[in-house]
Amino acid sequence: MPVPSQVPRELVPRLYAAYLARLPRYSAIRYFEDLVAPVREAVVAGRVLRYHPTQLPLARWASPRIMTEGVRNFSFGRPEIRLITAEFDIRRINIEVSPIFPRLGKVLATEDAVEKLRQEAPVDRTEVVEWMHDSASATAVMSAREVEYNKHSQVETRSSDGYIPGVRLSSLSFERVRGYEYWSRGYARAFTPIGTVNVPRMSLRTIVGRDFLGWAFAGPQYWIQWTGVLAELRRLADRVTSPVGFPNLWGRVPPFWLLQQPSRETQRAEVVMVIDSDRDQRLRVVFRDPSDYTRVVDAGEIDVPRGRSEVRFVVASYPAVPPVVNEVKPEDNTRTVLNRFETRVVS
């Protein structure tokens, strides 16, 4: 397709229409929405919030019939778990170190990063105070996870003092209040594309809208300062080929969202995941409609043992398995890594 700047202005609408006509109807709609409205608007707390929707690269075979009937008839079978090794050693897992705090090494949990920061820069109540350790540990954990996910697609994260300078992303922000106000009322207030969300102190809230996925965490407080963490999915990955860790923020572990999509039209597909876990746990798996992320198509739980395991399950539908958003949520207080995720066609 010609670049718009290289053709006469009056021909551009006709060229775009011709291009979109070659795509399946549903894919064309989502392509057109992302093309003309990379930033959308929602009214939040009486003001207009401009936000970036979570995009997903739908396959060209995803016809309107598959996206409606396929989603309606979607089901998944009993998972099969094969233990590869019972050992969990973070040194042997190829997760990233923080590009901001590389000296901390591999850290999945804030409590691990905090201990290392306290040893390097003890609290002296003048130049170094407790909230600095908390904010830095969250940044160390999240910046490493951002590098890992962005090898496959795009996520944005931010962690800082929720009062000054505040915590803001392109589509999410925390209300800037003093730490003692946040702590005394028991929650932080986040402005999101789905409206104003109250996040209880030391808790994590997922933010799922029709076209948006993200989460917010309200963390520790020391008088005026408090630590907030935000994450928004700008674009979903449809496969994972290198380790991506689930961040552990003072015990709270957010979900991952991935686009579960076969390479071609099929009535049966197999999903393969390789997972490292520091203990026996029960993963929660939720399948969401790609046309409306708030709509749950199916859900289930997978018992994963300590160590490295391969998880396989079959998904089926008629007339074909549709692309769906796969939400994987580990238990809180775990250290979990997703090493591989792919959707294979079953012949």
Range 65-92 average pLDDT: 95
Tell whether 207 and 328 lie within a shared domain.
yes
| Element of type H or E holding 51 | strand 47-51
pLDDT 10s digits, 6-38: 445 555 455 444 444 444 444 444 444 444 457
Tell whether 171 and 207 lie within a shared domain.
yes
Which of the listed residues 63, 85, 104 is the one where a domain comes to its end? Answer: 63
Name the phi and psi angles at 78, rounded to 5.
Answer: -65, 130
Tell whether 183 and 267 lie within a shared domain.
yes
Tell whether 39 and 134 lie within a shared domain.
no
pLDDT 10s digits, 286-339: 999 999 999 999 999 999 999 999 999 999 999 999 999 999 999 999 999 999
Q: Is residue 85 part of a domain?
A: yes
Q: Which two tokens stand for residue 8?
A: 């006469």
Q: Is the pLDDT of residue 184 over 80?
A: yes
- For residue 74, the number of C-alpha atoms closer than 13 Å in the C-beta half-sphere is 26
User: Which residues constitute the domain of residue 251?
Assistant: 75-345
Cβ–Cβ under 8 Å, residues 240 and 339: yes
Cβ–Cβ under 8 Å, residues 75 and 36: no
Among residues 315, 153, 278, 162, the alpha carbon closest in space to that of 229 is found at: 162
Q: Is residue 333 part of a domain?
A: yes
Tell whether 44 and 86 lie within a shared domain.
no
- For residue 45, the number of C-alpha atoms closer than 13 Å in the C-beta half-sphere is 13
DSSP bridge pairs for 342: 272
Tell whether 281 and 254 lie within a shared domain.
yes
Q: Is residue 169 part of a domain?
A: yes
Which of the listed residues 63, 90, 110 is the one where a domain comes to its end? Answer: 63
Tell whether 50 and 121 lie within a shared domain.
no
pTM, rounded to two decimals: 0.86
Question: H helices then E strands: how many in the chain?
Answer: 7, 19
CA gap 112, 87 in Å, rounded: 19
Q: Is residue 8 part of a domain?
A: yes
Tell whether 48 and 146 lie within a shared domain.
no
SS3 41: strand
Which of the listed residues 31, 63, 95 is the one where a domain comes to its end? Answer: 63
* Mean pLDDT over the full length of the chain: 88
Q: Is residue 19 part of a domain?
A: yes
Q: Is residue 69 part of a domain?
A: no
Tell whether 51 and 82 lie within a shared domain.
no
Burial class (CB in 10 A: 0-12, 13-18, 19+), 340: middle
pLDDT band at 126 (very low <50, low <70, confident <90, very high): low
Using alpha carbons only, what angle is made at residue 12 by residues 7 and 13, rounded to the nearest 5 degrees? Answer: 170
Share above pLDDT 90 across residues of the chain, in percent, rounded to a whole number: 76
Tell whether 83 and 11 lie within a shared domain.
no
Cβ–Cβ under 8 Å, residues 337 and 95: yes
Domain count, the chain: 2
CA gap 238, 57 in Å, rounded: 8
| Element of type H or E holding 141 | helix 130-149
pLDDT 10s digits, 253-285: 999 999 999 999 999 999 999 999 999 999 999
Q: Which residue has the tokens 């080929």?
A: 241
pLDDT 10s digits, 36-54: 457 888 888 888 888 999 9
